[in-house]
C-alpha cells in the first residue's frame, strides 16, 4: 500500500532551518524560523512560566483526562485576555487545541462542517500553513490583496475591492495583530471599514491572533479582535499561547466560536467538542494549565506582563535600529516602514533572487518572499544585515 504514496512538498521554512544548520559559516544570521530570541540568541522560558511549573509540580495530583474541550478555566482566562467584556461570556463557545495551528485547523473543519461550499478569503500573503491546510482539506481559498511591496504598507483599497466579492456563507480570514508574514497592520479606521463590509456582504470573519502583546501591547493588540467580535453576527477566533507565553513546544491554543445569538452557544460548543474527539480526543493540558495559573494569579500575571513588555520593546528597538541604519547607509527613508511594522516579522518587499543573494553572499537566511524574523537579530547583527541589504541591491 505505501508504495502508492507520493512525495509531499517540503515546508519552506523548515527546509530553510535545515539549510541554516548545514551552513558551515560562523557569521550567518537566521531570520527564518518564527520564534522569539533574546540578545543571546536564546528562546527563554519566561519567569512566570517557570514559577507556575514549579507550583504545578508541587500541587498537581493527577494526570487524568480533563475534557474534550480542555479545562473550562483555561477558556475563561483566555477569553478574558482576548475579548475582555466586549462579548458576553454566554455567547462564546471555546475549546482548547494543540497550539494555534490546531485552532486554525479545527476552525476550518468547523467551517467545512457548516458549509462545505464555503470559500475562505485569505490575505496575499499570509502564513503559508493557512493555505497548506486549506488545500489539504479541499477547501477553496480566494486571495485578497493585502501587502503593497512599493510602500511596505497595507494595500487597503485593493483589499476592500477584493473583499467585495465575498458573500454570505464565505469566510474572511484576518490576522488579529502583527500580520504574518508582513508586519503591516490595519489601523482602527480601516478595521471598522472591514467590519462594515463584512456586515454588508454577510461573510463570516475568522481571526487568527497568534502574537497578542508583541505589537503595541496586550490591550491594543486585542482591540481589533474585540471590535470584530462585538459587531458581527458570528465569528471564529483562533488563538495561540506559543509566542506571548513562550511555550512553543507545549502546543497551547484555543478556538472560540462567537455568536450574538446566545442560543447558538450550546450547538457551537458541542460541535467543537465533537471535532476535538474526531481529531485528537483530549487536547494537551500542561501548557493550558500554566497559562491559566499565570492569568489567574495577580503576582504571576504582573511578572508575565512585565517580561512580555520587555520582549515587545526589544523588538521595537531592533526595528528602529535597522530602519535608522538603512537610512544612514542609503540616505533615504525608503526602509522606514520597518519601524512602523509590528510583531516578529517584516517583509522587505524584494525578489526571491535577491533573497537568495543575501543567503549565498552574506549567510543571511530569510524566507523567499523576503519575510524576516526581527527577533532573530540583536544590536550587533543589525548593522551586518543593513550593510548586506544595501550591498545586495535590495
Whether 243 sits among the annotated catalytic residues: the reply is: yes
Distance CA 71, CA 66 (A): 6
Question: Of these residues, 52, 210, 239, 386, which one is catalytic?
Answer: 210
How far apart CA 56 and CA 293 sit, in angstroms, is 9
Question: Per the residue annotation, which of 243, 257, 375, 392 is the catalytic one?
Answer: 243
Instruction: Give, to the nearest 10 degrees, the angle between helix 286-296 and helix 72-83.
Output: 60
Known catalytic residue at 57: no
The residues facing 92 across adjacent strands are 258
Q: Cell 525608503 belongs to which residue?
A: 334
CA distances (Å), origin 337, targets 151, 320, 341, 393: 7, 10, 6, 18
Catalytic one among 77, 93, 127, 170?
Answer: 127
What cell does 333 get? 527613508
Count of Cβ atoms closer than 10 Å to residue 306 Cβ: 11
- Residue from 148, 208, 221, 369 carrying the catalytic annotation: 208
Non-local CB neighbours of 61 within 8 Å, separated by 6+ positions:
none
User: Using CA atoms, how far apart are residues 162 and 289, in angstroms rounded to an integer?
Assistant: 41
- Closest by alpha carbon to 232, among 322, 171, 288? 171
> Strand ranges (DSSP E) for the chain?
29-30, 92-98, 119-124, 140-145, 147-148, 153-154, 171-175, 204-209, 234-240, 252-259, 345-347, 364-365, 371-373
Decide the pairing of beta strands 234-240 and 171-175. Answer: unpaired
Positions marked catalytic: 127, 208, 210, 243
Amino acid at each position: 500500500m505505501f508504495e502508492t504514496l507520493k512525495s509531499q512538498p517540503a515546508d519552506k521554512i523548515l527546509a530553510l532551518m535545515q539549510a541554516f544548520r548545514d551552513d558551515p559559516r560562523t557569521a550567518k544570521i537566521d531570520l527564518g524560523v518564527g520564534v522569539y530570541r533574546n540578545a543571546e540568541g536564546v528562546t527563554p522560558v519566561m519567569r512566570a512560566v517557570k514559577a507556575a511549573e514549579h507550583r504545578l509540580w508541587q500541587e498537581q495530583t493527577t494526570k487524568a483526562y480533563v475534557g474534550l474541550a480542555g479545562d473550562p478555566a483555561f477558556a475563561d482566562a483566555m477569553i478574558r485576555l482576548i475579548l475582555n467584556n466586549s462579548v458576553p461570556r454566554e455567547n462564546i463557545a471555546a475549546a482548547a487545541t494543540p497550539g494555534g495551528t490546531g485552532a486554525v485547523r479545527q476552525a476550518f473543519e468547523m467551517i467545512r462542517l457548516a458549509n462545505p461550499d464555503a470559500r475562505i478569503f485569505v490575505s496575499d500573503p499570509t502564513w503559508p500553513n493557512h493555505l497548506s491546510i486549506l488545500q489539504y482539506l479541499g477547501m477553496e481559498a480566494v486571495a485578497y490583496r493585502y501587502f503593497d511591496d512599493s510602500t511596505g504598507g497595507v494595500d487597503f483599497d485593493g483589499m476592500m475591492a477584493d473583499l467585495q466579492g465575498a458573500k454570505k456563507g464565505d469566510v474572511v480570514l484576518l490576522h488579529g495583530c502583527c500580520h504574518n508574514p508582513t508586519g503591516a497592520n490595519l489601523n482602527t479606521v480601516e478595521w471598522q471599514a472591514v467590519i462594515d463590509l463584512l456586515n454588508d456582504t454577510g461573510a463570516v470573519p475568522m481571526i487568527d491572533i497568534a502574537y497578542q502583546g508583541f505589537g503595541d501591547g496586550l490591550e491594543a493588540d486585542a482591540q481589533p479582535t474585540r471590535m470584530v467580535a462585538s459587531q458581527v453576527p458570528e465569528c471564529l477566533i483562533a488563538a495561540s499561547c506559543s509566542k506571548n507565553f513562550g511555550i512553543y513546544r507545549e502546543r497551547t491554543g484555543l478556538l472560540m466560536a462567537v455568536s450574538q445569538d446566545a442560543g447558538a452557544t450550546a450547538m457551537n460548543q458541542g460541535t467543537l467538542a465533537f471535532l476535538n474527539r474526531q481529531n485528537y480526543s483530549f487536547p494537551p493540558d500542561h501548557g493550558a494549565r500554566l497559562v491559566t495559573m499565570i492569568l489567574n494569579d495577580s503576582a504571576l500575571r504582573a511578572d508575565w506582563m512585565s517580561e512580555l513588555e520587555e520582549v515587545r520593546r526589544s523588538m521595537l528597538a531592533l526595528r528602529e535600529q535597522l530602519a535608522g541604519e538603512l537610512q544612514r547607509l542609503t540616505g533615504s527613508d525608503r526602509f522606514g516602514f520597518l519601524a512602523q511594522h509590528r510583531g516578529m516579522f517584516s517583509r522587505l518587499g524584494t525578489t526571491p533572487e535577491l533573497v537568495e543573494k543575501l543567503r549565498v553572499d552574506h549567510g543571511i537566511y530569510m524566507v523567499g518572499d523576503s519575510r524576516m524574523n526581527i527577533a532573530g537579530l540583536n544590536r550587533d547583527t543589525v548593522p551586518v544585515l543593513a550593510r548586506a541589504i544595501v550591498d545586495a541591491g535590495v
